[in-house]
C-alpha cells in the first residue's frame, strides 16, 4: 500500500509566486538564464545558480553550500514562507494547448521506492544519483516534485474537484502561457480520507523524475544508517511528489535524428532495412506513423513508411513491444552501429510535440542524414514494463505535465 503524507511546504508569497517559479535549470539556454536573472531578482534561478551573484561559475559542493545560502536569504527576506500545518496541495496546470492536469502535491515514501511500491520504468545513472544525493544532503530541501501517476480514483477525484471550488492560494501564468493553480488541504478528516485511498493502491508509478527519486532514496538510506534513533517519521524518509491520475498523464514520443549512415550508401541502407521492414516511399510531404511497430523515416529529401515484417522479430516481453526498443534492436544498433543511446553523439532526440517537419528541416540542413518518427508510448505499456522489472531505452517518453521549481519546497 502506498504511503502518502502531508507536509509543511515552504512557498513563495502569492504576490510574487509567478516571478519565483522557474523551469528546471538545464532547460534554459545560457542567454535565457542570464536574462531572467538580470531582470528578475525573485527567480528561483538565483538560488540554483548562486555564482551569478559573483559573476563566477561555481561547481561541486562549494556551489551546493551557496545554494543553501541563497535559499536561506529568500526565507529571511520573506520571499518564502513555511505553512504552519502539514497539508496536501491540490495543484492544477492548464497549458497553452488547453490540456489540463489535476493532482496532489504530497510527500511520498522512500521506503515505498525501495519496496517497489513506487515503480520505475527507466534506468538511472549511478553517478548522477550520487551527485544529486550530495546536493540534497547539503542544501536540505527539494524544490521540484517527482511526477507520479496512480490509478484513477473517484474519491480522490471528488476531493480535488470540491477543493478547487474554493479560494486558490496561487493562480498565475508563466511566459510559456501555462497557468498554475494551487489550493491547500489542511483539514485532518480530508487528509485522512486521501491517505486511506492511497493506502488501497498496491502500486504507483514514476512518470518523470527517476533520478530525483533514486537520489532521495540514497539520502534516506544514508540518513537511516547514520541515525541510531531512526523511527521512520523523519523528513528524510520522504520526498516531494506530484501525483496525478493515469487518465490525465500525456505521453509524447521522442523521435530520433541520426548523423551518418555508418558508412553505408543510401541504397545499401535501404536494402538492409528491407530484411526487417516493408518499405514504401511516401514522397516529399511529412508523413506520420499510424500504429505501433510502424515508423516514418526521412532520408535524402523523401519520407518513407517502415512496417515491421511479422516474421522478422519476436516479442517475449513488454519491453520487446516498445517501439523505442524495437527501433534500437532492428535499426539503430545492428545497422547504424549505435550501441550507447545515452552517449553516442551520432544520435539526437526531438520530442513529439514538434511535428515531422522538424525532422525534415534537421535532415535537410545537412547536420543529420536520417530521421525516424514513431507513435507515443501508452500508459499501459509504461506500467507493464515497470511491472516486469524492465527498463525503457533513454528518451522513450516525453511526459506532460512539466513541473516548475520553487512553487512548493520540501525541507529535510
The fraction of the chain above a pLDDT of 90, given in percent, is 87
| Ramachandran area for residue 311 (φ above 0: left; ψ -120 to 50: alpha; else beta) | alpha
Q: pLDDT at residue 354 above 90?
A: no
* Mean pLDDT calculated for residue range 171-185: 94
Q: What is the largest CA-CA distance in the chain?
A: 69
Q: pLDDT at residue 94 above 90?
A: yes
Q: What is the pLDDT of residue 126?
A: 87
Paired sense of beta strands 347-351 and 277-283, if any: unpaired
Could you tell me if 216 and 136 are in contact, meaning their C-beta atoms sit under 8 angstroms apart? yes
Domains of the chain in start order, with CATH, are: 4-251+400-411 (no CATH), 254-396 (3.30.1760)
Q: What is the pLDDT of residue 248?
A: 97
Helical spans, DSSP H, in 77-148:
110-114, 126-139
351's grid cell: 520530442
* Mean pLDDT calculated for residue range 156-180: 95
* Mean pLDDT calculated for residue range 188-206: 98
* Mean pLDDT calculated for residue range 308-316: 88
d(CA 25, CA 29): 9
The whole-angstrom distance between residue 40's C-alpha and the CA centroid of its chain comes to: 26
The whole-angstrom distance between residue 399's C-alpha and the CA centroid of its chain comes to: 6
Q: pLDDT at residue 139 above 90?
A: yes
pLDDT, the chain, mean: 95
Grade residue 161 by pLDDT with cuts at 50, 70 and 90: very high
Grade residue 317 by pLDDT with cuts at 50, 70 and 90: very high
Q: What is the pLDDT of residue 187?
A: 97
d(CA 395, CA 349): 7
The fraction of the chain above a pLDDT of 70, given in percent, is 100
157's grid cell: 477525484
Q: What is the pLDDT of residue 124?
A: 87
100's grid cell: 489540463
158's grid cell: 471528488
Q: Which residues pair with 303 in a beta bridge?
A: 283, 298
Q: Which residues pair with 351 in a beta bridge?
A: 254
Q: What is the pLDDT of residues 281-294, one digit of tens each?
A: 999 999 999 999 99
Q: What is the pLDDT of residue 160?
A: 98
d(CA 203, CA 193): 18
DSSP states along 263-283: T--HHHHHHHHHTTEEEEEEE
d(CA 329, CA 37): 44
Q: What is the pLDDT of residue 406?
A: 96
216's grid cell: 532521495
* Mean pLDDT calculated for residue range 241-249: 98
Could you tell me if 286 and 260 are in contact, meaning their C-beta atoms sit under 8 angstroms apart? no
Amino acid at each position: 500500500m502506498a504511503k502518502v503524507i502531508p507536509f509543511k511546504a515552504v512557498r513563495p508569497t502569492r504576490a510574487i509566486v509567478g516571478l519565483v517559479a522557474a523551469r528546471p535549470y538545464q532547460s534554459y539556454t545560457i542567454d535565457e538564464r542570464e536574462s531572467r536573472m538580470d531582470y528578475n531578482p525573485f527567480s528561483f534561478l538565483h538560488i540554483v545558480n548562486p555564482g551569478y551573484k559573483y559573476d563566477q561559475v561555481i561547481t561541486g559542493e562549494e556551489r551546493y553550500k551557496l545554494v543553501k545560502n541563497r535559499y536561506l536569504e529568500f526565507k529571511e527576506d520573506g520571499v518564502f514562507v513555511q505553512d504552519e500545518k502539514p497539508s496536501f496541495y491540490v495543484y492544477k496546470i492548464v497549458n497553452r494547448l488547453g490540456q489540463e492536469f489535476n493532482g496532489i502535491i504530497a510527500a511520498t515514501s522512500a521506503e515505498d521506492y525501495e519496496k517497489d511500491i513506487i515503480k520505475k520504468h527507466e534506468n538511472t545513472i549511478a553517478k548522477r544519483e550520487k551527485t544529486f544525493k550530495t546536493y540534497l544532503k547539503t542544501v536540505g530541501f527539494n524544490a521540484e516534485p517527482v511526477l507520479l501517476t496512480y490509478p484513477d480514483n473517484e474519491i480522490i477525484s471528488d476531493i480535488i474537484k470540491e477543493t478547487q471550488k474554493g479560494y486558490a492560494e496561487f493562480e498565475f501564468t508563466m511566459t510559456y502561457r501555462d497557468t498554475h493553480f494551487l489550493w491547500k488541504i489542511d483539514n485532518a478528516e480530508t487528509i485522512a480520507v486521501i491517505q486511506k485511498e492511497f493506502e488501497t493502491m498496491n502500486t504507483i508509478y514514476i512518470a518523470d523524475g527517476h533520478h530525483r527519486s533514486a537520489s532521495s532514496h540514497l539520502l534516506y538510506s544514508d540518513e537511516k544508517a547514520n541515525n541510531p534513533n531512526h523511527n521512520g517519521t523523519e523528513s528524510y524518509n520522504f520526498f516531494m511528489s506530484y501525483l496525478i491520475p493515469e487518465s490525465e498523464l500525456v505521453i509524447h514520443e521522442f523521435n530520433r535524428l541520426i548523423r551518418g549512415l555508418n558508412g553505408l550508401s543510401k541504397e545499401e541502407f535501404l536494402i538492409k532495412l528491407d530484411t526487417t521492414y516493408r518499405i514504401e516511399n511516401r514522397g516529399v510531404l511529412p508523413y506520420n506513423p499510424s500504429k505501433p511497430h510502424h515508423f516514418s523515416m526521412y532520408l535524402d529529401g523523401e519520407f518513407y513508411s517502415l512496417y515491421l515484417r511479422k516474421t522478422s522479430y519476436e516479442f517475449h516481453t513488454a519491453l520487446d513491444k516498445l517501439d523505442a526498443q524495437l527501433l534500437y534492436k532492428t535499426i539503430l544498433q545492428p545497422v547504424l552501429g549505435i550501441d550507447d543511446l545515452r552517449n553516442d553523439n551520432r544520435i539526437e532526440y526531438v520530442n513529439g510535440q514538434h511535428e515531422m517537419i522538424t525532422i525534415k528541416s534537421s535532415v535537410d540542413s545537412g547536420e543529420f542524414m536520417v530521421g525516424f518518427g514513431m507513435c507515443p508510448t501508452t500508459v499501459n505499456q509504461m506500467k507493464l514494463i515497470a511491472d516486469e522489472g524492465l527498463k525503457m531505452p533513454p528518451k522513450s517518453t516525453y511526459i506532460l505535465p512539466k513541473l516548475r521549481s520553487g512553487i512548493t519546497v520540501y525541507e529535510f
